[in-house]
Amino acid sequence: MIITRFAPSPTGNLHIGGLRTALFNYLYARAKGGKFLLRIEDTDFARNSVDAKEGILRAFEWLGLDYDGTIEYQSKRLALYKQQIQKLLDSKAAYYCYMSKDELETLREEQRKRGETPRYNRKYRDFEGVPPERIAPVVRLKAPLSGEIVIDDKIKGKVSIQATEIDDFIIARSDGTPIYNFSAVVDDALMGVTDVIRGDDHLSNTPKQILLYQALGFPVPRFFHIPMICNESGKKLSKRDGAMGVMDYAQAGYLPEALLNFLVRLGWSCGDEEIFSKQTLLQIFDVKDINTAPSAYNPSKLLWLNHHYLNAQSNDSLRALLEPFGISIEPQIAEILFPALKERCKTLVEMKEHYLEIMNPPVYDKKLFAKNVQQGALDVLAQSFEILQSLAFDDAQTLESAFTQNIAPNKPFLLLRLALLGKGGGVPIFVAMMALGKDESLRRIAELRSAIAADLGVDCSTQ
């Protein structure tokens, strides 16, 4: 059985690089009928954040990424790590190192002066004397002195590292807490993880982890190192490129379906298809289709996908999605406005803003208002008011047809937009009228006419 895992550290917000890793692990396990596990690597007690941990869980819930079993917390497994460290000490596969930080730094500085690569000199590898006083030792693994370590990576192919490149690395700090590489190996082995899918920034950790699997007598899992996500210039992705924490995307009005579809296409493909529902991915996803080259983060593509998924929502679904943004829309208003808003809006935030532009009292665009401070505008608004007052507001198309048949050749659409929306653009004006209703539409037209008359210094009631 395929067993994968996602193992974030709760020291900051979950970002899209981590989410893509989680998604690939999730889809691969589910598509193969296996298990997907969640582990929180919270042994960095100085940097752990409750908000970060809760943010990870909220992101999983929002995206619908379910995991098997209960969440494993490394902070609750410290006794287990100590047992495994003692196992290595007892078998002479690891040893206590009493070299102080100052001594180690002096050693490294001397090596630099000689043009050598700074590294620990294995001073205590076979030490049998009396340990120095007042030194709390670290624990180091005995790395092989010759040969090579081979990573059979399922994305990058075979990667060989000479054993001489690997130092006797630390597996436990002087306070007894384990180093990342050690705790990750113990957890993956004891949790039964068969496939480790992660970013290729972890590739340098893999030789050390393979040595730990071998020293502990655990089977080595399959490794898949995913190329990183880059910006459009091919450089490391950063917040300046638009990358945000996962829940920031939710607050910005993106749909989980769009974000998942966007992320899965960052490094994975299936023919020329661009749109993939989660249900489809659960059937067809395979890690063998992950690209070997880095992927470029394209915010325009994400907006395009979000627009696609917004358009696919029912009116009732959109009403529910807008409620967390403080917008409660009556069903009849949604039926009128949503087709036009879906066409124009790429995010829920944009939809909220367009809705409020229609329903809130207009604030006139200064340039457009000044351009229409003239007698002709008063006449057009007066005529429009009279015609609209006589018409039934049944539906936008019928209203527009009846209005255009009765209005003078100088069509007043721009003035009507200014009156109703305060600007020159927006949803079709007769759609806005239907959403506002007859009384409010007429009130806004009369209000603009009064404002223009006041600037002209005339009494519009006599016009």
Q: What is the CA radius of gyration of the chain?
A: 32
111: helix, strand or coil: helix
- Which residue among the candidates 76, 235, 239, 371 is catalytic per the annotation? 239
Non-local (6+) Cβ contacts of 263 within 8 A are 16, 19, 20, 23
- Asked whether 65 and 24 are in contact (CB, 8 A), the reply is no
**For residue 44, how many other CB atoms are within 10 A of its CB?**
15
249-265 residues labelled b (16+ CB within 10 A) or e (exposed): bbeebbbbbbbbbbbbb
Residue that the structure tokens 């001594």 belong to: 103
- Residue 239 bears catalytic tag: yes
Could you give the maximum distance between any two Cα atoms of the chain, in Å? 110
- State the Cα torsion 277-63-189-29 to the nearest 10°: -10
227: which 2 tokens? 């190329």
383-408 residues labelled b (16+ CB within 10 A) or e (exposed): ebbebbeeeebeebeebbebbeeebe
87: which 2 tokens? 């196992």
> For the chain, how far is it from start to end, CA to CA, in angstroms?
83
Element (H, E) at 47: none
Backbone angles phi, psi at 153, to 5 degrees: -80, 135
**For residue 117, how many other CB atoms are within 10 A of its CB?**
9
Non-local (6+) Cβ contacts of 202 within 8 A are 225
Non-local (6+) Cβ contacts of 149 within 8 A are 160, 161, 162, 163, 166, 207, 210, 211
**For residue 418, how many other CB atoms are within 10 A of its CB?**
26
Catalytic (active-site) positions: 239
